[in-house]
Structure 1
Amino acid sequence: MQKIILSAVLAAGLLPVSARADLPVYLDRSKPIEERVEDALSRMTLEEKVALCHAQSKFSSAGVRRLGIPEVWLSDGPHGVRAEFNWDNWDYANWTNDSCTVFPALTALAATWNPELSALYGKSVGEEARYREKDILLGPGVNISRTPLNGRNFEYMGEDPYLAGEMAVPYIQELQKNGVAACVKHFALNNQEKWRDNVNVKVSDRALYEIYLPAFKRAVQEGKAWSVMGAYNRVWDEHCCHNARLLNDILRGEWGFDGAVVSDWGATHDTKQAALNGLDIEMGSYTDGLATESMYGYDAFYLATPYLEMIKRGEIPESTVDDKARNILRLIFRTAMNTDKPFGSMTTPEHYAAAKQVAVEAIVLLKNNGLLPLDPAKYDNVLVVGENAVRILSDGGGSSELKAKDMFTPLEAIRETYGNGVKFAEGYRTGRPFFGWEEIIPDEILDSLHNEAVELAKKADVVIYIGGLNKNGFQECESTDRREYNLPWNQDKLIEDLVAVNPNLVVANISGNAYAMPWVDKVPAILQSWYLGTMIGPSMADVISGKANPSGKLPFSFPKRLEDNGAHHFGEISYPGIEIPGKGPQQEYLEDIFVGYRWHDTKKIPALFPFGHGLSYTTFKYGKAALSSKEMSDNGTITVTVPVINTGDVDGKETVQLYIQDEKSSLPRPVKELKGFRKIHLAPGQTTEVSFSITPDDLKFFDDSKHEWIAEPGKFKAMIGASSTDIRSTVRFSYK
């Protein structure tokens, strides 16, 4: 026992330098990390190395107690540190000190189009994870929003790989400065929850490399993520958590990843494949993500006793566990044994301020005929309608569920802004949040709530409708996808009836997904408000009242109809897939590279609201773009510059977007692709020059026949816009 304690003290750096003369290499932080890894590995038994590779509880894996190497503690994320669970079941431990700041969901973060806010977000959530002594935070999620029915889209960063990558990198970098590893998820092609455990995805290499992998690549190579989580689904007939091509060839071979691969809970299925194909830490097996392992025990995991026995029998090389142990030790030295990490902090005023700043910049003004903002001096007879005005939206949703220390609801904040005379009508009711099933509310209750709201709306000066989706099963919840594109619980009829009796209707819906708006032409003002976390109410009230000027932009397109989305155009084989006896669900990404705005542009199918769209309470005028040169060479760079002026009478922020169009190519390409953006703040009358550097990499597409990125000589357009369809200036250049 004394040796264990001494090793732990040495690892923590608590002894003076004079007492460290005979320090083992693995405990000496002055040594290069690879020397420490090899020294620790040389001292470990086979049993100890195998023990590193699988869970020892719901959210931890073993260290090496004999050597003073600590265990690894994980927590769900990525928009808050989840409450503590019991050691071996899915019941909450009922601690009194595990409440957190609920930060806006990652879709909201993406809607800010502000990498500086992403850095602040990562720093803040990292401080809370560090305070709770977590070594790995399970996030961020960078899967592409392929279909608006995906139950977990709210955890991701939109439909565009460039936007997702730009926002993920600073999050990861600042998170890990706290000595907490980011665990980038879900690698890869986890773009739906229906059949998530075994759907087999078939996708072209071109779509894989151009759409679904770039954000992961940037997270690894630029963000330097210390861990990656494998997905549940299959790709090319192999489960992602032991998929040789994804993990061995691409993640480690092509990208040089040196961190640990962690399985999603219950996503490991075979000992030999897990041993050979790149998985390091196996979590939650035999559970489908939910049940207890008690009937099996953690030693029965695929990478536990079965793995140990296969190594001893010579069926699997011992070198495989050495490689896994190296990756895990490297992770431990970066996190649990990192004595330079800060102390962390929890639910501080600074964190609440950060959460609010992100939330305010995330809100997207979709439509406004002049009704917004609502001046509190002019409106005192205000009616708020909608369950989401009072619902605690951190509840439910699966692994993203959070125990909020505080949750300031929209209704509370609106009453603080417009007075206690603000009236409220629920309008509809959804029931309690459950994982994988739903509570059915009787029709007579729904009808009564509907009628009450409409009657009150007749007497109000203005109605603020706060509905949308929530984190119930079959809405936006892990393990289930949405059943329909329209709003559930008869909300469309409720909105129609409200605007019929009161034309001063503001729809401020909350969701992490796009949805149909059959009432869009009748409603004068529409805000998209997302899951904004602890500070949801004050953020929404500030934007509605005009205290804050909205500056969010959509991180994905809102199709008019579900069939206008590329994933749904080709029928069930494309989404959700088709069950084939003996093979399970099979799915083909037939829209290929044409995801989101790429599909809408190329197929000439207008979106209801396009990617990158977002209005303001002021106006911005773009000048004519100018190029530093009209020709680019192989190693050259062209700068495109555009002046932007605030022509309105209030301060505002605008996101200037750069798209590139290849006028002619040997393979089909989208009409345009996002290659840059800048968020700027301008006072009334102020002008600024916005510049972008264009390199040959921005011109490339992936040629899957050659397995390489290619920029073909020819003519290109640099398109500067306020959204993917609102292009303000275009300039041409050639590449030779």
Structure 2
Amino acid sequence: MPERVQHLLDQLTLAEKASLMSGANFWNTKAIPRVGIPSIMLTDGPHGLRKQGGAADHLGLNASIPATCFPTAATLANSWDPVLLRRVGEALGTEAAAEQVSVLLGPGLNIKRNPLAGRNFEYFSEDPLLSGTLAASFISGVQSRGVAASAKHFAVNSQETHRMSIDEVVDERALHELYLEGFRLAITGGDAWTVMSSYNRVNGTYANENQELMQQVLRRRWGFDGLVVTDWGGSNDRVAGLIAGNALEMPSTNGVTDQEIVRAVEAGLLDEAVLDARVAEVLELIERTAPGDAAPADLDAHHELAVEAARASVVLLANRDRTLPLAPGRGRVAVIGDFAETPRYQGAGSSLVNPTRVDSALDALRASALDVAGFEPGFTRMDGSSKRLRRRALELAKGSDVVLLFLGLDESAEAEAVDRTHMRLARNQLDLAEELIAVGRPVVVVLAGGSPVELPFADRVDAIVHGYLGGQGGGRAIVDVLTGASEPGGKLAETYPLRYSDVASSTTFRLTEATSEHRDSIYLGYRYYDKIGAPVRYPFGHGLGYTEFAYADLVVDETTARLTVTNTGERAGSEIVQVYVEAPDAANGEFRAPRELRGFAKVRLEPGEHARVEVTLAEHAFSAYDVGTHDWRTVPGSYAVLAGASSRDIRLRATIGIEGEAWSLGDAADLPHYVSGHVQSAGAGEFEALLGRSLPAADWPANRPLTRDDIIAQTKGRGGFGGLLYRLITTSHRVLMLLKRPHAANNTYFALDLPFRSIPRLSGGAFDEDMLDGLLLMVNRHFFRGTRRLISAAWKLRARNTRIPKAN
């Protein structure tokens, strides 16, 4: 502990120490002027600064100051470019420092387990190596400006439905190989100063109180020496969180949990040395991020960086007969689709950025050399029906030579606090696409969205360009790619399945109330599809360009793969070289993915140019997690090291023998579907055998009184005031959707998933614990007794708050 931190700690009273464990308000820590401890500010990220100057919220409802909106993590991941991620991090750190912000709450790097997860747009990939490598660079960039990054949400935050209470039930091997590995790489490689704990439980224990995760893994195994902050409203048992390693609870609880800490120390339930360790972490963070006189950010330069980042992340999914790029003289171009004029460039919720400007694709097309015949929106957002809009779009297409059709997920589809219910595009978009294809003109589809969608028309259009959520410069970036002013620089950081039913977790995801069973285990994304040989729409790592590359001369050892890459086309371009390791007998005889990404590199070459590319292999390239020793362990045997342009476009292969002591990854007799990979057929008994314990109840118990630990959604179907409360919230969602306010509508789910215990803590002192007791009586069918208690408690609280202190 630094000497100055120890000196400050020695001067603090018990009450002052406890006070530093929660916020002063929504975004700031508490100051203690008596000893010179300042307040610092934490604000949302991760792809832009969301600093609110007025009314504060964690849901993206109230306005924030203008800031550069960079492409979201799901977009940037398609660049496969750590150098670019560092530059974006540096820019974000600069903007945060200029606004006297000490902690930027990002990056998010939870694994994208299922395409329907509502916050997939905030996360990098289905692969932990890609996620962790990019996140480490991003973190290094932010922190190079004296601003702390916060790796979130630790851990296994795999769905938004009931996220504040759901128990993510996952086997130990999948936990370490997939869900923790990206965090390990980000924290050890990026030296993150803070980590944000997730709302959910992990194998029965809230992440924020999970000593195995917080102490054994995060601090002892990975050497993390920074501060853990709760997600906003994400504290369950404040003292248990402190003991596990959580220092800062946000936002302010108006002193409620500070008193819990003081009482626990005085009663001998909490060792004051534990409290001191947590206070020291807050003080060290303050020292690391002390705001200085930072220069204003160059927002014009940052906008250009946002455009560059979007260009590098655009993925060309299909390009039949070299339809793209579109050159002047190609003919008249019809621009159809509401997203061309009003771009969907970011997600919703806590990451909602107020951009400094927004480039639309339509404006960029009109400014290009293309002959734009006209524009028609063709459809309305949120699947509204309009025959007139469709008719006008078809008329425009018939009078043109090429159709640019802008489709995607609208603002109601992807947001914090809510998961998608299906993987389809809106019906009105699909109908329009079919009618435009029937016109007979070449159709180029431009997609927007942060997660895979089903593409039933994919084989019948001429090209598909995916911009994901490209930030404020995404519109210009898309047009640069369409016209060939720049190349499509990205490759998919996730697999595109043909249909949702093909997804390994589709049989369990968000289908139960109390738990989320990860019966898919290690078979997630390409690991699953490649294991069972399932067809996919586009494989992991897929992305076309405007030139071609040849691979040759692969040489490997235990740490490195080297190969020669040549640009055999007619224009400059970049190639993302992916190195996979194929395990011995993984395809049919072992509980193991057939191949896994173990390294990658991006190389840019002029026409005819070649380069010798060296790819460093991951630390665990030839290892698996051994649940017997609770650690990574080398698996001996003859491995194939593969170099390719995607997980299914393998260009070169070399073999290498790895030594070690043989050990078993699982008993085929007990785990037949985990050996074969057909995990959709794994029953409860087999999953229990994998877990080594019985499964917890998957649904909420019926007909029992609700407690402080239950969530408001559990009032559903209970009748009386509880049922009325549920109907009021769900009705408000429907009304807001009818009013075309999807951001506000989706945030009603935040209220439904809120634990009752959080109401006093998040109310800023307007609703206390006694009032909560009254509310619980009301929802438990004791309406009049509960009402009397709530009113009485409210009067007592009002009297306490308005009492004038006596003069000395």
Counterpart contact for 2:327–2:484, Cα < 8 Å: no
* Paired residues for 1:328-727 under 5 Å: 328-336=282-290, 343-379=294-330, 381-393=332-344, 397-418=348-369, 421-430=372-381, 441=384, 443=385, 446-472=386-412, 475-568=413-506, 571=507, 574-579=508-513, 585-627=514-556, 637=558, 639-664=560-585, 667-694=590-617, 697-727=620-650
Q: How much is the aligned-residue C-alpha RMSD, in angstroms?
A: 2.1
| Cα displacement string for residues 363-418 of structure 1 (whole angstroms, at most 9, x for unaligned residues) | 00000013433444214522111121122535761111111111011111111114
| Cα displacement string for residues 406-451 of structure 1 (whole angstroms, at most 9, x for unaligned residues) | 10111111111146844111122125xxxxxxxx84x3xx333222
* Structure 2: distance between partners of 1:166 and 1:90: 28
Per the normalisation by structure 1, the TM-score is 0.86
Distance 1:395-1:552 versus aligned 2 partners, 3 A rule: closer
Identify the residue that residue 33 of structure 2 maps to in structure 1. Answer: 65
| Cα displacement string for residues 287-341 of structure 1 (whole angstroms, at most 9, x for unaligned residues) | xxxxxxxxxx6212x3x2222233233332222221110111111110026x5xx
Counterpart contact for 1:415–1:422, Cα < 8 Å: no
3-state SS, counterpart of residue 496 of structure 1? helix
3-state SS, counterpart of residue 122 of structure 1? helix
3-state SS, counterpart of residue 602 of structure 2? strand
Distance 1:398-1:610 versus aligned 2 partners, 3 A rule: same
Matched to 2:273, the amino acid is S
Identify the residue that residue 677 of structure 2 maps to in structure 1. Answer: none
Identify the residue that residue 161 of structure 1 maps to in structure 2. Answer: 128
| Cα displacement string for residues 489-548 of structure 1 (whole angstroms, at most 9, x for unaligned residues) | 421221111111143111010111011010011011001111111111110110000010
Identify the residue that residue 140 of structure 2 maps to in structure 1. Answer: 173
Identify the residue that residue 255 of structure 2 maps to in structure 1. Answer: 299
* Paired residues for 1:77-476 under 5 Å: 77-86=45-54, 98-284=65-251, 298-300=254-256, 302=257, 304-336=258-290, 343-379=294-330, 381-393=332-344, 397-418=348-369, 421-430=372-381, 441=384, 443=385, 446-472=386-412, 475-476=413-414
3-state SS, counterpart of residue 171 of structure 1? helix
* Structure 1: distance between partners of 2:347 and 2:583: 44
| Cα displacement string for residues 157-209 of structure 1 (whole angstroms, at most 9, x for unaligned residues) | 11000001110111111110111100110110001111111111110110011
3-state SS, counterpart of residue 24 of structure 2? strand
Distance 1:87-1:695 versus aligned 2 partners, 3 A rule: closer
Matched to 2:278, the amino acid is K
Distance 1:91-1:145 versus aligned 2 partners, 3 A rule: closer
Number of residue equivalences: 657
Cα drift, residue 83 of structure 1: 3.9
3-state SS, counterpart of residue 119 of structure 1? helix
Counterpart contact for 1:86–1:93, Cα < 8 Å: no
3-state SS, counterpart of residue 621 of structure 2? helix
* Structure 1: distance between partners of 2:620 and 2:191: 21
Please, which runs of 5 or more residues in structure 2 have no aligned partner?
Answer: 660-808
Cα drift, residue 284 of structure 1: 3.4
Q: After superposing the two structures, state which structure 1 stretch, 83-92 or 260-269, moved more.
A: 83-92
Please, which runs of 5 or more residues in structure 1 have no aligned partner?
Answer: 1-32, 286-296, 432-439, 580-584, 630-636
Distance 1:612-1:90 versus aligned 2 partners, 3 A rule: closer
3-state SS, counterpart of residue 460 of structure 2? coil
Matched to 1:476, the amino acid is E
Counterpart contact for 2:58–2:349, Cα < 8 Å: no
* Structure 2: distance between partners of 1:625 and 1:479: 46
Per the normalisation by structure 2, the TM-score is 0.78
Q: After superposing the two structures, state which structure 1 stretch, 207-216 or 351-360, moved more.
A: 351-360
Distance 1:451-1:284 versus aligned 2 partners, 3 A rule: farther
* Structure 1: distance between partners of 2:226 and 2:559: 36
Percent pairwise identity: 35
Cα drift, residue 720 of structure 1: 0.4
Identify the residue that residue 14 of structure 1 maps to in structure 2. Answer: none
Distance 1:663-1:587 versus aligned 2 partners, 3 A rule: same
